[in-house]
Amino acid sequence: MKQIKYITAGLIMFSFVLAACGHHRDDDDRRDGKRDQHDGNWRGRRDIPAGSVGTQTPAIPSVVEVKVTESHKGDPANVPAGYSPMPRIGEMAPSFKAVTTQGEIQFPEQFAGSWVIFFSHPADFTPVCTSEFITFASLMGEFDKLNTKLVGLSVDGLYSHIAWLRTIKEKIEYRGHKNVEVTFPLIEDISMEVAKKYGMIQPGESKTKAVRAVFVIDPKGMVRAIIYYPLSLGRNFDELVRVIQALQTADAFSVATPADWRPGDDVIVPPPGSCGTAKERMEAQTDITCKDWFFCTKKIDKEKVLSTILKK
């Protein structure tokens, strides 16, 4: 019996030694930048506080890094748990079919050839959202001249949408606008499927309401701009109009637009691609004004800009 006890005690001691060695090896790997055993990615060298080596397992980070490969795209079954996809600028807008206050839509295919402001709001029958919808509806004529359609979304149901929009028309006045009828589509998204597809649910702000997201989508269905607002902050509609005008101007004239640009202001000429071109630009007598080789502007008349981007 004594021999069995000695053998058992020896095995337990050996297990502790192996565990300690494992901690030392893991700490050395983390310090020197080894391959992570969970996702196969290499991690860079990082310092470990003195006294921590071999004494405790490193704390689990509060944010888990999720590596998404090309194979995940288009197949929800391959998306890692906890990953919430969100379209990025320069990518095609994710496609979906939805029920709206204006009937069923296929987005964005149904709007091909037009610019689209696709936006979300937190909830029906709320004051900030009500002020925004009245403003959106009052600006529909201006957006239409810019060949731009509006599509809204919240996680409320269709009948809630209809009742809310009727209330807006019959009872609510905001900044001189009253009897306003909202005629653009408002998507029913009770399942939050579309909101999650576009990253409109921000758990740190709310797990059950969409934030005030804005996606500007061009006539080819590509995301060109993204603007996010928290629940408490109503959108700046002058800025939304300016964004559409600026993007269309940049496309039409192959230029960029500086801070606070408005139609008629100077535009930015793209930087030269070589030293020779830079020198020629600085020395040439043209309609381009250069403060330095990389900062050059030119004038485009407001009338020319508007006659180009507005619908005839």
Tokens of 110: 């149904």
CA 90/CA 196 separation, integer angstroms: 19
Catalytic annotation present for 21:
no
Residue 278 three-state SS: helix
Listed residue (135, 182, 180) closest to 162, CA to CA: 182
Distances in Å between the Cα of 90 and the Cα atoms of 221, 222, 282 are 10, 6, 32
Tokens of 171: 């009872």
Distance of CA 186 to the CA centre of its chain: 20
* β 148-154/115-120 pair status: parallel
82 neighbors 66 (Cβ within 8 angstroms): yes
Q: Tell me the CA distances in angstroms from 180 to 121, 138, 165, 233, one per residue in order.
A: 18, 7, 9, 22
The catalytic position among 21, 129, 275, 296 is 129
- 194's tokens: 């579309």
Instruction: State the number of CA atoms in the 13 A half-sphere of 233 facing the CB.
Output: 11
Distances (CA, A) of 57 to 33, 48, 60, 146: 17, 12, 9, 59
Compute CA distances 260 → 80, 146, 255, 263, 282, whole Å.
41, 19, 15, 10, 25
CB 220 within 8 A of CB 122: no
| Catalytic residue annotation | 129
